[in-house]
Amino acid sequence: MVVNGGPYILDQPERQMFRLHRAVLFDPEVARAERERVFARSWLYVGHDSEIAKPGDFRTRHVAGRPVIFVRGEDGKPRCLLNSCRHRGTIVCREREGNAKRFFCFYHGWTYGADGALVNVPGADAYGASFDKSEFGLQPVPRFEAYRDFWFANFDPNAAPLAENLAGAKEYIDLVVDTSPSGKLEIVAGVQEYDIAANWKLLVENSFDDYHLLTTHVTWLDYLKGAGVEMKRPAEAGVLLPARGIGRDLGNGHACVDNVNFRGRPVARWIPIYGEDAKPEMAAIRAELVSRLGEARAARIADTNRNLVVFPNLVINDGSSVTVRTFQPIGPERMKVTAWALGPKEESPSARARRLDSFLTFYGPGGFATPDDVEALESVQQGLAATEIEWSELSRGMNKTGETLNTDEHHLRAFWRRWNALMCAP
Amino acid sequence: MRAVSLRGEVEEFLYREADLLDGWRLDEWLALLTPDAIYEVPPNDRPDGHSDDTLFIIADDMDRIRARVKRLQSHEAHAESPRSRTRRMIHNVQAAENGDGSIKASANFVVYRFRRNAATREYVGRYEFRLKREGGGFRIASRRAVLDSEELGALGSVSFIL
What does the pLDDT look like over A61-79, one tens digit per residue? 999 999 999 999 999 999 9
Domain boundaries, chain B: 2-155
pLDDT of residue B36: 98
pLDDT of residue A98: 98
Q: What is the mean pLDDT of residues A392-402?
A: 95
pLDDT range class, residue A6, cuts 50, 70, 90: low
Considering the entire predicted model, what is its pTM?
0.96
Burial class, A4, CB count within 10 angstroms (exposed 0-12 / middle 13-18 / buried 19+): exposed
Say what percent of chain A tops pLDDT 70: 99
Q: What is the pLDDT of residue B135?
A: 86
Is A11 within the bounds of a domain?
A: no
Is the domain of A146 the same as that of A215? Answer: no
User: Is A404 found in the same domain as A262?
Assistant: yes
Contact assessment for residue A415 and residue A252, using Cβ atoms and an 8 Å cutoff: no
pLDDT of residue A203: 98
Q: Is residue A278 part of a domain?
A: yes
- How far does B57 lie from chain A, in Å, by closest CA? 5
Q: Is there a domain that residue A250 lies in?
A: yes
Interchain CB contact of A291 with B (< 8 Å): no
The answer to the question of residue A227 being in a domain is yes
The whole-angstrom separation of Cα A273 and Cα A359 is 12
CB-CB under 8 Å, B77 with A188: no
CATH code of the domain covering residue A98:
2.102.10.10
Clarify whether residues A291 and A376 are in a common domain. Answer: yes
Task: Please tell me whether residues A276 and A142 are part of one structural domain.
Answer: no
Q: State mean pLDDT over A263-287.
A: 95
User: A223 in contact with B at a CB cutoff of 8 Å?
Assistant: yes
Give me the domain span that covers residue A362.
188-424
Q: Are residues A205 and A65 located together in one domain of the fold?
A: no
* Of the candidates B152, B82, B63, B71, the residue with the CA atom closest to the CA atom of residue A364: B152
Over residues B79-109, the pLDDT tens digits come to: 999 999 999 999 999 999 999 989 999 999 9
Q: Which residues of B touch A376 (CB under 8 A)?
A: 78
Q: Is A60 helix (H, G, I), strand (E, B) or coil?
A: strand
The answer to whether residues A126 and A209 belong to one domain is no
Asked if residue A311 is part of any domain, the answer here is yes
Contact with chain A for residue B71, Cβ under 8 A: yes
B71–A191 C-beta distance less than 8 A:
no
Question: Cβ separation of A219 and B71 shorter than 8 Å?
Answer: yes
State the CATH number of the domain containing residue A341.
3.90.380.10
Whether B49 and chain A come into contact, CB under 8 Å, resolves to yes
Cβ–Cβ below 8 Å for B53 and A378: no
- pLDDT one-digit tens code per residue, A179-229: 999 999 999 999 999 999 999 999 999 999 999 999 999 999 999 999 999
Asked if residue B4 has pLDDT above 70, the reply is no
Q: Are residues A205 and A57 in the same domain?
A: no
Specify if A294 maps to a domain. yes
Mean pLDDT of B116-142: 96
A300 shares a domain with A383: yes
Task: Determine which of B157, B158, B160 to mutate to test the interface with A (most A C-beta atoms within 10 Å).
Answer: B157
Q: What is the DSSP string of A39-55?
A: ITTS-EEEEEGGGG-ST
CA torsion sign, A305 to A397 to A404 to A420?
positive
Strands A192-196 and A304-310: unpaired
Q: Using 50, 70 and 90 to split pLDDT, how confident is the model at A426?
A: confident
Mean pLDDT, all residues of chain A: 96
For residue A104, give Cα distances in angstroms to A75, A79, A209, B57.
Answer: 19, 17, 45, 33
Whether residue A382 sits in one domain with residue A285: yes
Contacting residues of B for A216, CB less than 8 Å apart: 78
Q: What is the pLDDT of residue A404?
A: 95
Region A293-314: what's the mean pLDDT?
97
**How far is residue A50 from each of residues A64, A94, A129, measured CA to CA in Å?**
22, 21, 42
Q: Which of B56, B71, B57 is nearest to B158 (CA)?
A: B57
Q: How many structural domains is chain A composed of?
A: 2
Interface membership of A78 toward B (CB under 8 Å)? no
Same-domain status, A99 and A233? no
Residues A143 and A234 in one domain: no
pLDDT at A4 over 70: no
Q: Are residues A198 and A73 in the same domain?
A: no
* pLDDT score of A34: 95
Interface check B12 vs A, CB under 8 A: no
Q: What fold characterizes domain B2-155?
A: Nuclear Transport Factor 2; Chain: A, (3.10.450)
Beta bridge partners, B103, equal B97, B131
